[in-house]
Amino acid sequence: MTINQIVTPLDNAVLETKAQYKVYFKIVVHALKELVASIEKENICTDAEATFVRQYSNLLTYSLEAFRIKYLFDDDERMRIDLTESGFPSYLEFRYLYNDLELRNEHISKLPKVETIKAEFLETLMKYKQPIDDDKLHKAASVIYYTSVEKQFIYKRFVQGKILPAIGLGAEYMVSWSFYDVTYNRPFICFMYFNLYKEKIEDVRQELYSVLEQTADRDMEIDMLAYAIDKKLPQVHPKRIKKLDLGPLHNVFAKDELEITHVILKAIVEKTFELSAYAISLGVDEAVSKSEFKEGSLFNKQTLQVWEKSKRKKYLFSPHRVIQSLYDEIPETINALTGNPIEISSLKLD
């Protein structure tokens, strides 16, 4: 398979062939799993944070598998992926997936029974020695999709994590959440460490969750995010906020203007790299409260935090051979990272 067979049909941001689906899903799932494992190994997050990163990533991986089943034998619909600075499926796909499952029973009622499909497949394969046609394969995939995919495990635009004690981390509590930014079409994971003022956690839990979903469901400057949350929660005193930006995913499907992507694409065209060559970026932003000030009228003052944001940390994860090529082609870009590129395993396509 050549790069033209993979890339050329993607100008309209859809996957066109079964071969493209196969390659795309393998790259994204593999890259995501390697990224999560390396975040834990390289101590980019605390143990508690790494646990949440894995949980949110599991939702993403589960959703990707649902996409794979949904589109594998569908000749009418095509999955949309973001070809700019993302590499992940378009946010619309997650919304459509959730909507599909809202109408699960209606869809199932229009499909043949599992026993009927099994009987037809066995008769075709064993009695008539014929391959199963695509229409029947699509119906079988649809049955699997609507009967096995669970709505609660689908990654939504905003996913709320639980509030937990933040033992030894400079605050009383921590809370996590994740969102899929509709502008960048890639996932973000956030953590907030905070104290309470004259309140019990049970009394502020739902209000805190509501504010996070309304205020912190999209990418913005970390200090602006911190101030917005702080302003809307008078009894909650945030002390530290951390945001992980998962992506972009640099691979054969990308059409962005990033130097890393172009090095990989060039090497694939020249057959120096396999089609499965990839790298994935990770950005880490953090803001810490350095002091407090009071705002408001004499009888209605609110304590707010004075935030100091750190310089963004930029990491790159990639197989060894890709790292070597990046150092050869764009050394200044690679040296500008927070640390050396982190080696992760390559992917072999069947």
pLDDT tens across 185-195, in order?
A: 999 999 999 99
Q: CB of 190 within 8 A of CB of 178?
A: yes
Average pLDDT of the chain? 90
Assign 10 a pLDDT band (cuts: 50, 70, 90).
very low
Retrieve residue 50's tokens.
């790494």
Of 212, 244, 232, 238, which is closest to residue 290 (Cα–Cα)? Answer: 238
CB atoms within 10 A of CB 38: 18
What is the spatial distance between Cα 164 and Cα 5, in angstroms, rounded to a whole number? Answer: 49
Decide if pLDDT at 25 tops 70. yes
When comparing pLDDT for 305 and 2, which is higher? Answer: 305
Kindly state the percentage of the chain with pLDDT values over 70.
Answer: 95
Res. 278: pLDDT tops 90: yes
Q: Is the pLDDT at 11 greater than 70, yes or no?
A: no
Structure confidence by residue, pLDDT tens digits, 292-321 = 888 776 677 888 999 999 999 999 999 999
Contact between residue 251 and residue 87 where contact means Cβ atoms under 8 Å apart: yes
To which residue do tokens 């199932």 refer?
A: 108
Give the model confidence (pLDDT) of 96-105 as tens digits.
998 888 888 8
Region for 97 from its dihedrals, namely left if φ exceeds 0, alpha if ψ lies in -120 to 50, beta otherwise: alpha
| pLDDT at 327 exceeding the cut of 60 | yes
What does the pLDDT read at residue 13? 54
- Is residue 286 within 8 Å of residue 309, measured between CB atoms? yes
Helix spans in 149-277 (H): 201-215, 222-232, 259-269
pLDDT attached to residue 196: 93
- CA separation, residue 132 to residues 70, 138, 181 (Å): 18, 10, 40
Q: What pTM was computed for the model?
A: 0.91
Q: What integer pLDDT is reported at residue 136 of this predicted model?
A: 86
Report yes or no: 349 and 275 within 8 Å, Cβ to Cβ: yes
Tell me, what's the pLDDT at 21? Answer: 84
Asked whether residue 9 carries a pLDDT value surpassing 60, the answer given is no
Residue 300 bridge partners (DSSP): 297
* Contact (CB, 8 A) for 290 and 240: no
Residue 268 burial (C-beta neighbours within 10 Å; 0-12, 13-18, 19+): buried
Averaged pLDDT, 16-44: 91
